């Protein structure tokens, strides 16, 4: 409790009012962003069971180099609407939740957008959390994996790696970018024995071709550090965001993936010895 | 099972029990602590329902509950004013012979309890399609003064004004106040003869003192208590049991205890008629019988199932207006369980598991209101079983063991939703709640009602001018207005409880208390989130009042962004905290009836809908006439950073400023808890552990999809047992009014990202 909210002692005194705000911090300058003392944040959330184990403080960093057709957070594509935040403020929240993470088996997850679009910012957050003993998780497409230096990998306990398609042609169709950097990043994580959960979004009519599922599964199976694969059914919960942002949305008529479709895909991953939770 | 042939003796009743203070004086807590066995294992030992359990439950469902759901009230006895011994024994069917006893002679048949007020009874009778018996009417309108008559003889003009403008709603001035838990265990442990002897001794304890009103009331009340205990003895005989002596077996211990509770719900229709803290107590008897080889696990479960069956069919005659405030026909047979003892042992027993198992054996139901005193150090097997049952049924609530034990000891129980009290040593003077949100609008309008335009509060200046509201000025006026509102409110409560003691005294419940007890005055507020968000908007954004042609502020234009309560942002959360403390300090400054300890709760039952209906628009954007969020919840849909962040905000409100409890109702979709059952269970355990570690007092947990509720609105017949927790209690969703159903659906569903 801040001192300014203490009640007055005398009942007839002027009632207490919350005094002025904590002194307003200066606006970050370009150098602060460059050096990771500040960053562009889309939002934060305490999320359970989605972005890694337990209940996790998830920072959604703004900006992404990919334009995935099925993105359910297209409002994180750009940074111009994002909040400019001081890294230290975000670290303070991690510190506040540290004891909760111990109870929930959770930790910190950086998601986005693409967190590696702001490597200095992401690196400082991950490093501070790691220093506090907080479990850290990076949720990434891997496209900018080259920007994650070895120090950053040291500070990460788990990588959630989105494998969006199994070959270059489809990857480009889905994301407008190339697959090779993701594969290189995946290999680097494998070489360092870094725990990885692969995530694959099953989009009917786009990523659900049997040969694509098999190609993704083969990639995943080639990395012994992959602990788990989540097959995520495509859903339409992001549709209204595309409409609000007035960006053409190519999947407006695409049906959501059914339970059976997901189970079939899961069977393919399991047949290659991969762990898919029920 | 029938009454034992030979009269039990104290020696045989207490065989195998460890002695202690409980043998010297009435001290059930000491008996429990000396004799209970904590259980650290899992749910594997539990039994399913027996054929007899299912037979009774199926008859109840087929012949009674399904009929009641269609017509609201199954039946009413219009001739017999209720009392402990007013009705002949009744049974559900021929298999109903494990734990017996009904409120009247037929299941679900309701009885009149006119001591609270005759008009309420007659209205309820008419709404149930019945005519009042003219003789009974004559008795309670000509010869016997009621609680309601007494209160209105004393009410002051300002109370009447506040009631009619709905700034204070739902006061217990025409119905039983409730929130008194008799220590029903005493009947089983000591037998009634001993209890009467102790009461007689207490009565004459101050016989040599000179006359005073206090002295006379003390003697008169204990006399009433002794008469009630004698009636309880008669009630026992009518069902074939001799309650004069202590219970000899587990079956008798449960049956004796239940009959004592039954006596209370036969003679009082208090809003909340809670059951207490019973699992460890019963478990001592179960363990003894199991060890002696006279009982099996199946038999133990059958006894608990039979008891819970009875606790599910308590009914009171209520009006439709009453249902608006306490929706879904609740009676809060709250059964508190778990927590730790002062010596550091968990008070989790096998019977704690058996209680939860009833939700599987009999299916989900709102009553008894199962309340777990949660602590992150409770055995993991138990925490996981609680979470699993919550996920399956949405029927459990959780309260902080640490808050409760540190203030009220390790034999406390919850009355109603969140009100803790030491069993048998403490009662509450229940105070409904005052509209803290509407008070803010009164502050801005100088005591003019924003809905009717009438001047309700005299002598207050409104905020003038068309410029943006200044926080300092608004806060000053709000603080002033709260002085009037709280003063009026507490004046009404003092009057109400003075009259309730005179005209509708809870003799049997008080007979199962110590003769000298602690009283708390349970005040309450509604609309906390709206006040917090509105003050935040005024403080951090730009809020311009919009006036009608008479100058009354009827709406607000809010520009810019501001922090919102419920997102773990100190700027907004500290405002919520400040409001709670300010109200509490004003209550503390007033002299209370019977020297009660001032407390308040942040809890709305389902009155969040009626309160909202009677209230105008707010700077936070909360629209006129729309439901408040329940209890201490953040505004519906505005706690956008996840369930745990919402819990952390609510956890900041100081429990010391709301000793009667701070209620948070959560709804989370199953998917947001995890991909499979095991993940969901361990994640829910983690969330509860973390929330309570950060100071959270109470958590209702619903694990539901919005689509399920929407479907239930349209197809109620397919969801007869769909249970949801609304605000410190659970209801059958289909028993809510449509308006309340839509309110529940509009609440925040935490979905993860």
| Cis check: omega of the bond before B368, within 30 degrees of 0 | yes
Say yes or no to pLDDT of A9 above 50: no
Segment 639-678 of chain B within 8 Å of chain A by CB: 640-645, 668, 671-676
Instruction: At A145, give phi and psi (nearest 5°).
Output: -55, -30
Nearest-neighbour CA in chain B from A55: distance (Å): 7
- C-alpha span between B453 and B722 (Å, rounded): 42
Q: What is the pLDDT of residue B390?
A: 96
Least Cα distance to B410 among B399, B397, B423 occurs for B423
Residue A8 — very low, low, confident or very high, per pLDDT cuts 50/70/90?
very low
Beta carbons of A151 and A123 less than 8 angstroms apart: yes
Measured CA distances, B528 to A16, A19, B444, B581, B642 (Å):
18, 21, 17, 12, 20
Judged by DSSP in three states, B67 sits in helix
Task: Look at B675 and A55 and tell me if their CB atoms are within 8 Å.
Answer: no
Say yes or no to pLDDT of A10 above 50: no
The rounded Cα A45 to chain-centroid distance in angstroms is 11
Catalytic residue among B386, B417, B499, B523: B417
**A254 — alpha (psi -120 to 50), left (phi > 0) or beta?**
beta
Give the domain A28-271 fold. Answer: TIM Barrel (3.20.20)
Beta carbons of B698 and B400 less than 8 angstroms apart: yes
The mean predicted confidence, pLDDT, of chain A is 90
Q: Does A7 touch chain B (CB under 8 A)?
A: yes
Three-state SS string over chain A comes to: CCHHHCCCCCCCCCCCCCCCCCCCCCCCCHHHHHCCCEEEEEEEEEEECCCCCCEEEEEEECCCCCCCCCCCCHHHCCCCCCEEEEHHHHHHHHHHHHHHHHHHCCEEEEEECCHHHCHHHHHHHHHHHHHHCCCEEEEECCCCHHHCCHHHHHCCCEEEEECCCCCHHHHHHHHCCCCHHHHHHHHHHHHCCCCEEEEEEECCCCCCCHHHHHHHHHHHHCCCCEEEEEEEECCCCCHHHHHHHCCCCCCCCCCCCCHHHHHHHHHHHHHCCCCCCC
Chain A residues with CB under 8 Å of B568 CB are 93
Segment 379-418 of chain B within 8 Å of chain A by CB: none
All CATH 3.20.70.20 domain ranges in chain B, comma separated: 10-112+174-429
Task: From the options 2.60.40.290, 3.20.70.20, 3.30.930.10, 3.40.50.10610, give the CATH code of B10-112+174-429.
Answer: 3.20.70.20
Once rounded to an integer, what is the mean pLDDT over residues B703-710?
Answer: 90
* Residue pointed to by tokens 């000793």: B659
Contacts of B28 (CB under 8 A, 6+ apart): B22, B183, B185, B186, B189, B281, B411, B423, B424
The mean predicted confidence, pLDDT, of chain B is 95
Q: In this complex, how many residue pairs, one in chain A and one in chain B, have their CB atoms less than 8 Å apart?
A: 106
Beta strand A83-86 with A38-48 is antiparallel
Name the residue facing A55 among B578, B585, B690 (closest C-beta). B690
Chain B residues with CB under 8 Å of A107 CB are none
pLDDT digits (tens, 9 = 90+) for A64-101: 999 999 998 899 999 888 999 999 999 999 999 999 99
Beta carbons of B426 and B517 less than 8 angstroms apart: yes
Least Cα distance to B220 among B571, B501, B606 occurs for B501
Q: Closest-CA residue in chain A for B671?
A: A49
Chain A residues with CB under 8 Å of B575 CB are 18
Chain A residues with CB under 8 Å of B471 CB are 17-18
- C-alpha span between A120 and A32 (Å, rounded): 10
Whether residue B499 lies in the annotated active site:
no
Which tokens in the block code for residue B42?
């899992």
Query: Of A5, A21, A49, which to mutate for an interface test with B (greatest number of B Cβ within 10 Å)?
Result: A49
Task: Look at B475 and A17 and tell me if their CB atoms are within 8 Å.
Answer: yes
Which tokens in the block code for residue A119?
């490597």
Least Cα distance to A136 among A144, A125, A147 occurs for A125
Measured CA distances, B533 to B347, B433, B661 (Å):
40, 20, 21
Whether residue B386 lies in the annotated active site:
no
pLDDT digits (tens, 9 = 90+) for B213-248: 999 999 999 999 999 999 999 999 999 999 999 999
pLDDT-wise least confident of B7-21, B136-150, B438-452: B7-21
Task: Look at A49 and B582 and tell me if their CB atoms are within 8 Å.
Answer: no
Domain extents in chain A: 28-271
Q: What is the pLDDT of residue B197?
A: 98
pLDDT digits (tens, 9 = 90+) for B644-667: 999 999 999 999 999 999 999 999
Task: Look at B686 and A17 and tell me if their CB atoms are within 8 Å.
Answer: no
Nearest-neighbour CA in chain A from B533: distance (Å): 14
Beta carbons of B159 and B487 less than 8 angstroms apart: no
- C-alpha span between A89 and A92 (Å, rounded): 5
Q: Does A277 touch chain B (CB under 8 A)?
A: yes
Contacts of B719 (CB under 8 A, 6+ apart): B708, B711, B712, B733, B734
Once rounded to an integer, what is the mean pLDDT over residues A124-152?
Answer: 97
Judged by DSSP in three states, B551 sits in coil
Q: What is the pLDDT of residue B9?
A: 64
- C-alpha span between B399 and B364 (Å, rounded): 20
Q: Closest-CA residue in chain A for B578?
A: A5
DSSP string for residues in B732-752? EGGGS-HHHHHHHHTS--B--
Q: Does B680 touch chain A (CB under 8 A)?
A: yes
Judged by DSSP in three states, B374 sits in strand
Q: Closest-CA residue in chain B for A99?
A: B690
Scanning B465-617, the segments in alpha helix (DSSP H) are: 471-503, 507-511, 528-540, 570-588, 607-613
Which tokens in the block code for residue A223?
């990395």
Q: Does B589 touch chain A (CB under 8 A)?
A: yes
pLDDT digits (tens, 9 = 90+) for A199-210: 999 999 999 999
Say yes or no to pLDDT of B76 above 60: yes
Nearest-neighbour CA in chain B from A21: distance (Å): 8
A153 burial via Cβ count (<10 Å: 0-12, 13-18, 19+): middle
Judged by DSSP in three states, B662 sits in strand
Residue A25 — very low, low, confident or very high, per pLDDT cuts 50/70/90?
low
Query: Where in B418-479 does DSSP place strands (E)?
Result: 419-422, 426-430, 433-435
Say yes or no to pLDDT of B309 above 80: yes
Beta carbons of B362 and B53 less than 8 angstroms apart: yes
Q: Output DSSP code: residue B470.
A: P
Which tokens in the block code for residue B731?
């209801």
- C-alpha span between A254 and A10 (Å, rounded): 66
Name the residue facing A18 among B568, B574, B671 (closest C-beta). B574
Contacts of B121 (CB under 8 A, 6+ apart): B112, B113, B114, B132, B140, B317
Instruction: At A263, give phi and psi (nearest 5°).
Output: -60, -40
Q: How many CA atoms lie within 13 A of B445 on its CB side?
A: 30
Chain A residues with CB under 8 Å of B476 CB are 14-15, 17
- C-alpha span between B644 and B394 (Å, rounded): 18
Residue A107 — very low, low, confident or very high, per pLDDT cuts 50/70/90?
very high
- pLDDT above 90 coverage of chain B, percent: 88
Q: Does A233 touch chain B (CB under 8 A)?
A: no
Terminal CA-CA length for chain A: 44
Chain A residues with CB under 8 Å of B472 CB are 17
């Amino acid at each position: 409790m801040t001192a300014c909210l203490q009640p007055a002692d005398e009942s007839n005194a002027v009632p207490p009012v919350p005094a002025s705000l904590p002194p307003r911090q200066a606006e970050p300058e370009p150098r602060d962003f460059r050096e990771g003392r500040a960053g562009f944040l889309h939002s934060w959330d305490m999320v359970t069971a989605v972005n890694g184990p337990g209940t996790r403080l998830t920072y959604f960093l703004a900006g992404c180099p990919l334009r995935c057709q099925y993105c359910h957070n297209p409002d994180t594509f750009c940074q111009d609407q994002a909040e400019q935040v001081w890294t230290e403020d975000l670290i303070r929240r991690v510190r506040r939740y540290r004891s909760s993470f111990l109870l929930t088996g959770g930790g910190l997850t950086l998601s986005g957008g693409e967190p590696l679009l702001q490597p200095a910012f992401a690196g400082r957050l991950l490093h501070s959390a790691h220093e506090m003993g907080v479990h850290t998780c990076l949720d990434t497409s891997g496209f900018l994996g080259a920007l994650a230096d070895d120090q950053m990998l040291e500070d990460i306990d788990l990588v959630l790696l989105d494998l969006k398609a199994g070959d270059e042609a489809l990857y480009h169709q889905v994301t407008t970018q190339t697959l090779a950097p993701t594969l290189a990043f995946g290999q680097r994580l494998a070489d360092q024995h870094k725990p990885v959960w692969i995530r694959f979004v099953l989009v009917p009519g786009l990523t659900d071709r049997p040969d694509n599922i098999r190609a993704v599964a083969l990639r995943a199976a080639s990395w012994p550090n992959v602990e788990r694969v989540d097959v995520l059914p495509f859903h339409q919960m992001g549709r209204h965001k595309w409409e609000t942002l007035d960006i053409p949305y190519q999947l407006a008529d695409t049906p959501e993936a059914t339970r059976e479709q997901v189970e079939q895909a899961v069977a393919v991953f399991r047949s290659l010895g991969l762990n898919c939770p029920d | 099972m029938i009454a034992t042939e030979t009269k039990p003796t104290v020696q045989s009743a207490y065989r195998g029990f460890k002695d202690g203070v409980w043998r010297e004086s009435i001290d059930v807590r000491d008996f429990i602590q000396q004799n209970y066995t904590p259980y650290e294992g899992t749910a594997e030992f539990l039994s399913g329902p027996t054929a007899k359990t299912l037979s009774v439950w199926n008859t109840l469902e087929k012949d009674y509950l399904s009929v009641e759901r269609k017509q609201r009230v199954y039946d009413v006895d219009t001739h017999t004013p209720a009392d402990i011994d007013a009705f002949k024994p009744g049974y559900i069917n021929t298999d109903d012979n494990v734990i017996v006893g009904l409120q009247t002679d037929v299941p679900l048949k309701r009885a009149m309890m006119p001591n609270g007020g005759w008009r309420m009874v007659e209205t309820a009778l008419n709404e149930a399609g019945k005519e009042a018996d003219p003789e009974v009417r004559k008795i309670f309108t000509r010869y016997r003064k009621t609680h309601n008559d007494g209160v209105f003889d004393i009410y002051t003009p300002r109370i009447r004004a506040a009631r009619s403008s709905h700034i204070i709603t739902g006061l217990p001035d025409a119905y039983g106040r409730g929130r008194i838990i008799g220590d029903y265990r005493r009947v089983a442990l000591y037998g009634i003869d001993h209890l009467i002897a102790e009461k007689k001794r207490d009565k004459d304890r101050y016989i040599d003192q000179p006359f005073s009103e206090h002295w006379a009331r003390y003697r008169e009340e204990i006399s009433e208590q002794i008469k009630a205990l004698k009636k309880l003895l008669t009630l026992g005989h009518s069902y074939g049991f001799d309650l004069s002596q202590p219970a000899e077996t587990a079956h008798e211990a449960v049956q004796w205890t239940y009959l004592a509770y039954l006596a209370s719900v036969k003679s009082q229709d208090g809003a909340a008629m809670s059951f207490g803290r019973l699992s460890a107590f019963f478990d001592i008897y179960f363990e003894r019988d199991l060890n002696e080889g006279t009982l099996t696990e199946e038999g133990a479960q059958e006894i608990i199932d039979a008891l819970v069956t009875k606790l599910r069919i308590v009914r009171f005659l209520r009006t439709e207006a009453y249902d608006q405030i306490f929706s879904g026909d609740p009676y809060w047979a709250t059964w508190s369980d778990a927590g730790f003892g002062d010596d550091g042992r968990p008070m989790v027993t096998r019977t704690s598991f058996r209680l939860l198992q009833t939700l599987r054996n009999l299916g989900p139901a709102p009553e008894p209101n199962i309340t777990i005193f949660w602590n992150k150090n409770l055995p993991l097997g138990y925490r996981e079983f609680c979470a699993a049952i919550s996920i399956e049924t949405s029927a459990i609530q959780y309260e902080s063991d640490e808050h409760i034990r540190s203030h009220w000891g390790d034999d406390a129980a919850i009355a109603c939703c969140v009100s803790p009290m030491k069993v048998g040593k403490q009662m509450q003077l229940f105070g409904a709640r005052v509209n803290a949100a509407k008070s803010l609008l009164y502050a801005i309008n100088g005591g003019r009602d924003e809905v009717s335009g009438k001047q309700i509060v005299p002598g207050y200046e409104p905020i003038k001018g068309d410029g943006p509201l200044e926080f300092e000025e608004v806060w000053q006026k709000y603080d002033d207005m709260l002085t009037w509102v709280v003063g009026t409110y507490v004046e009404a409560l003092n009057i109400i409880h003075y009259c309730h003691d005179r005209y509708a005294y809870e003799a049997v419940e008080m007979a199962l208390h110590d003769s000298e007890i602690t009283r708390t005055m349970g005040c309450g507020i509604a609309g906390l989130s709206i006040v917090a968000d509105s003050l935040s908007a005024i403080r951090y954004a730009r809020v311009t009042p919009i006036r009608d042609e008479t100058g009354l502020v009827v709406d607000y234009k809010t520009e810019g962004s501001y922090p919102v309560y419920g997102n773990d942002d100190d700027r907004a959360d500290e405002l919520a905290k400040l409001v709670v403390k300010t109200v509490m300090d004003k209550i503390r400054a007033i002299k209370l009836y019977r020297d009660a300890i001032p407390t308040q709760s942040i809890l709305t039952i389902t009155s969040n809908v009626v309160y909202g209906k009677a209230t105008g628009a707010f700077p936070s954007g909360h629209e006129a006439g729309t439901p408040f969020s329940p209890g201490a919840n953040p505004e519906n849909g505005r706690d956008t950073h996840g369930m745990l962040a919402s819990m952390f905000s609510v956890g900041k409100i100081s429990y010391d400023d709301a000793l009667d409890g701070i209620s948070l109702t959560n709804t989370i979709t199953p998917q947001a808890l995890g991909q499979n059952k095991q993940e969901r269970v361990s994640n829910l355990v983690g969330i509860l552990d973390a929330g309570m570690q950060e100071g959270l007092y109470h958590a209702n947990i619903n694990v539901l999809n919005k689509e399920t509720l929407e479907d239930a609105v349209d197809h109620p017949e397919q969801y007869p047992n769909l249970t949801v927790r609304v605000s410190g209690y659970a209801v059958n969703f289909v028993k809510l009014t449509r308006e309340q159903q839509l309110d529940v659906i509009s609440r925040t569903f935490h979905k993860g990202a």
